Chain A
Amino acid sequence: MISLLTRDMRLAVRAGGGFGLGLAFFLIVVVLVPFGVGPQSGLLARIAPGILWLGALLACLLSLDRIFALDWEDGSLDLLATSPVPLEGLVSMKALAHWLTTGLPLVLVTPVLGVLLNLPAAGYGPLVLSLLLGTPALSVIGTFGAALTVGIKRGGLLLSLLVLPLYVPTLIFGAEVARRGAEGLAYTAPLAMLAGITCGAIALLPFASAAVLRINLR
């Protein structure tokens, strides 16, 4: 399983795919927002948590179809499925690799982008914390969506449509933590909910993803 993880990460980083793409997209969104809404720093500070969360979510969405598509095309997914590693483990490792190559870099660059959007000083801690807790859920849910659409040619649009409503609770609680943090309010309640969603998703969704993948590989 560890070798699977390192293989996936090496592929993601070297093949010039999802790794840079998600980050670049995130950067573009955040840099373009001030041009779109105007440079007033008060306004930017107010919408900064939401924009950063939304940018991270969309950047995640962008790289989802790479989770299984390439392995499906060259047939290595069939080989992986017949290997002694249980499919649930495979799916979890795929999700983890996706998070390490997409979610974690996004979390790490967020403070820098927060400066661009004039995020209040009190907001950095909660924002990074909420993204750190929330992006694993995005990866796990996205892996489920990717497993659902793996057999479909050009399933990218369908994938976004399926994953979009599934992302709603995570986004609501995540952005709520960041917003309350930036405004200096108490944010433990939404943070606990966010952590609950993430833990639940990590614990249960790999089974659904594996079941779906088994159907698709039939």
Chain B
Amino acid sequence: MASIWEYANPKKFIDTTDRLLPFIAVAAVAALVVGLVWGFFFTPEDYRQGSTVKIIYLHVPAALMAINAWLMMLVASLVWIVRRHHVSALAARAAAPVGAVMTVIALVTGAIWGQPMWGTWWEWDPRLTSFLVLFLFYLGYMALWSAIENDDTAADLTSVLCLVGSVFAVLSRYAVNFWNQGLHQGASLSLDKEENVADVFYHPLLVCIAGFILLFVALVFLRTQTEIRARRTRALLARERLG
């Protein structure tokens, strides 16, 4: 009976992801090209925002992935704490820089979008502020990983930090809501059809989101493989020095 825990074996993980990676990567590039070209060149301009509305195709998927990357790290950290599978800890480590970059993309495209629309690059709006806090969490998480020499200790400490950080990230989200009313609009995407943006923008946006998700998966697979191989290389070198 095949189970997901088989992939806790690094060899099995590398073999499987090696086979999947080309497909995922190609699909990610295809979805991104189709989604962005469709979004940038074949959608009408918004009647109030003009062409600036097209930033949505980068901004929304990046913001979505920034949060989901942290969520994935949380799950991977839990798996590491409970079942102590090294691949899981390495996957969490591999996802952090990707998530941090997504956060930066969301913040930067948001600033570029905000300037013509709200007349300001930055506003202490709840959503913007909580993204900045999320970015700080990513920075702290990555810094802690790289500061500790022992791999297992680092994995343990960062996992606990990820758990505690998640609680405080949610707390900050509600705290900033309390603290300031925002300029940012509410959710424009939801399963509830009523709240969505108009279909002409919605369909290319969905393709872009799929592209970002595939891109994230591909990058995390690739980076996890790299981590596994780097660790193996270190083990081999250490063994050579001993023998």
Are B175 and A193 in touch, CB under 8 angstroms? yes
Q: Judge if B140 is at the interface, Cβ distance under 8 Å.
A: yes
A193-B175, A205-B164 known; A155 vs B147 contact (CB < 8 Å):
yes
* Partner-contacting stretch, out of B10-18, B131-139, B203-211, B222-230: B131-139
Are A212 and B157 in touch, CB under 8 angstroms? yes
- Most chain B CB within a 10 A radius of its CB, from A149, A168, A173, A211: A168
CB distance from B204 to the nearest CB of A (A): 34
Are A161 and B175 in touch, CB under 8 angstroms? no
A176-B178, A212-B157 known; A162 vs B144 contact (CB < 8 Å):
yes
Interface SS of chain B: helix
Are A215 and B133 in touch, CB under 8 angstroms? no
Are B160 and A212 in touch, CB under 8 angstroms? yes
- In Å, the complex CA distance between A148 and B161 comes to 8
How many interface residues does A have (CB within 8 Å)? 28
Sorted from nearest, which 4 A-B pairs have the closest CB atoms?
Answer: A169-B175, A165-B136, A169-B171, A162-B140
Are B157 and A215 in touch, CB under 8 angstroms? yes
CB distance from A132 to the nearest CB of B (A): 19
Q: Judge if A172 is at the interface, Cβ distance under 8 Å.
A: yes
- Most chain A CB within a 10 A radius of its CB, from B133, B144, B176: B144
Are A161 and B179 in touch, CB under 8 angstroms? no
A selection of 27 A-B contacts at a CB cut-off of 8 Å is A148-B157, A148-B161, A149-B144, A149-B147, A151-B148, A158-B140, A158-B143, A158-B147, A161-B140, A162-B161, A164-B140, A165-B165, A165-B172, A166-B168, A168-B133, A168-B175, A168-B176, A169-B174, A172-B176, A176-B178, A190-B178, A193-B175, A193-B178, A211-B160, A212-B157, A216-B153, A218-B153
Which residue of chain B is the closest to A144 with respect to CB atoms?
Answer: B164
Could you say which residues of chain A place their CB within 8 Å of the CB of B164? 144, 166, 205, 208
Interchain CB contact (< 8 A) of B144 among A148, A169, A172: A148
CB distance from A218 to the nearest CB of B (A): 7
- In Å, the complex CA distance between A208 and B156 comes to 11
- In Å, the complex CA distance between A167 and B229 comes to 37
Are B153 and A215 in touch, CB under 8 angstroms? yes
Which residue of chain A is the closest to B173 with respect to CB atoms?
Answer: A169
Q: Judge if A29 is at the interface, Cβ distance under 8 Å.
A: no
Contact flags (1/0) for A197-218 with B, using CB distance below 8 Å?
1000000010010011001101
Contact flags (1/0) for B208-240 with A, using CB distance below 8 Å?
000000000000000000000000000000000
Are A161 and B136 in touch, CB under 8 angstroms? yes
- In Å, the complex CA distance between A205 and B163 comes to 11
- In Å, the complex CA distance between A144 and B144 comes to 14
Which residue of chain B is the closest to A208 with respect to CB atoms?
Answer: B164
Which residue of chain B is the closest to A218 with respect to CB atoms?
Answer: B153
Contact flags (1/0) for B105-146 with A, using CB distance below 8 Å?
000000000000000000000000000010011011001100
Could you say which residues of chain B place their CB within 8 Å of the CB of A161? 136, 139-140, 143
- In Å, the complex CA distance between A158 and B164 comes to 16
Q: Which residues of A approach B to under 8 Å, CB–CB?
A: 144, 148-149, 151-152, 155, 158, 161-162, 164-166, 168-169, 172-173, 176, 189-190, 193, 197, 205, 208, 211-212, 215-216, 218
- In Å, the complex CA distance between A172 and B171 comes to 11
Could you say which residues of chain A place their CB within 8 Å of the CB of B140? 158, 161-162, 164-165
Which residue of chain A is the closest to B146 with respect to CB atoms?
Answer: A158
A144-B164, A172-B175 known; A216 vs B136 contact (CB < 8 Å):
no
A144-B164, A211-B160, A216-B157 known; A152 vs B148 contact (CB < 8 Å):
yes
Could you say which residues of chain B place their CB within 8 Å of the CB of A176? 178-179
Contact flags (1/0) for B25-37 with A, using CB distance below 8 Å?
0000000000000
Which residues of B from 51 to 105 have beta carbons under 8 Å from A?
none
Could you say which residues of chain A place their CB within 8 Å of the CB of B143? 158, 161-162
Are B144 and A158 in touch, CB under 8 angstroms? yes
Which residue of chain A is the closest to B156 with respect to CB atoms?
Answer: A215
Could you say which residues of chain B place their CB within 8 Å of the CB of A152? 147-148
- In Å, the complex CA distance between A149 and B144 comes to 8
- In Å, the complex CA distance between A190 and B174 comes to 12
Are B160 and A169 in touch, CB under 8 angstroms? no
Could you say which residues of chain A place their CB within 8 Å of the CB of B165? 165-166
Could you say which residues of chain A place their CB within 8 Å of the CB of B168? 165-166, 168-169
